[in-house]
A = this chain, B = another copy of it.
Amino acid sequence: MNALSPGSTIGILGGGQLGRMLSIAAAQLGFDVAIFTDEPDSPASRVSARAVVASYADEAALADFARRVAVVTTEFENVPAETAQALIGAGARVAPNPHALAVAQDRFDEKSYFASAGIATPPFRAIASQEDLDAAIAEIGAPAILKTRRLGYDGRGQIRINSAADAEGAFEKLGAPGILEGFCAFEREVSIIAARGWDGAVAFYDLNENEHAGGILSRTMLPARVSADIARTAQEAAQRVLEAFDYVGVLTIEFFVMPDGSLVANEMAPRVHNSGHWTIEGALTSQFEQHIRAIAGWPLGPTTRVAAIEMHNLIGADANAWPALAADPDARVHLYGKRDARAGRKMGHVTKLSF
């Protein structure tokens, strides 16, 4: 595609912090942004030229939105397939393509996809009944984790199975089609943030080392304590996924690093990612600008990291510490403008750089 001229309007589905940071990055390149969200007064709407507040099922609103923007992207992966279809049906160019979104919405499809692309995963089985679960545990063994196939996010909808006895009634408790994943006794967690343009050019950021607490990302550090081999394996995996989906934009894959030095893919996010927030100050091109460049048909920017990084999330009441954070000369403070600091809610993040 031809590169979009500055002054073009970029459409973003979703009004959260990722949309907010994407919108700011787009503005810095001279684009206008229109947000489509079902949330009034969303964090992203408040930094954007326009906001449409409507249901993701509102086909008329989606069609109107499609006509007013040069390209549509998304800040969350759980975009209903019908939403993407309505946009495309109305003539919108959508990036990344809805196929990547659909695969990332289903943990079984996602892991099957990794496996078919030669990317190592934990052992996994689709679970549609208690019988499936019992059989899968017999095959995979315990400990294992039973998760819903769809709409799982940040540790919700997961049941740990430590022994065959734990499996009793677990499928009923899950209440939805599931996936059983063998538990990985990993040494650490890493993620790779990669980007691909309309022209097929690919770029990678340095690997992120991540710590989670309660299923939510807590801390990201760079450089990650991994070998060059591991970094290369992660890049190769990302490249295969990007190319197989003819993907345009930023994509993230999370991996477990096993004690034997092997990498096991955990999940992918077809979007900018919390573990890449450090790129705002810590890389020559932020992941947000990179995503905008990619979907706008601009050349990808350099991903060079300029400092050692520690990023930590402000979850729920953590954000109440803003006076101390504001006074810390080492803390680059980002707050997302959320009105209500509910427990578990990502309210902001802090990046520390060591030059």
Residues of A within 8 A of B (CB): 3, 5-7, 20, 23-24, 27-32, 45-49, 284, 293, 298-299, 301-302, 306-307, 319, 322-323, 326-327, 329, 332-337, 339, 348, 353, 355
Contacts and interface: CB of A to CB of B under 8 A. Distances in A.
Contacts of A49: 45-47
B30 A326 contact: no
Contacts of A307: 306
Contacts of A319: 6
A29 B31 CA distance: 22
Contacts of A337: 6-7, 27, 30-32
Given A20-B27, A24-B47, A327-B299, A6 B322 contact: yes
Contact of A323 (B3, B45, B293, B333): B3
A332 B298 CA distance: 13
A6 B335 CA distance: 7
A319 B5 CA distance: 11
A298 B323 CA distance: 8
Contacts of A329: 284, 301-302
A47 B332 CA distance: 21
Contact of A24 (B27, B301, B355): B27
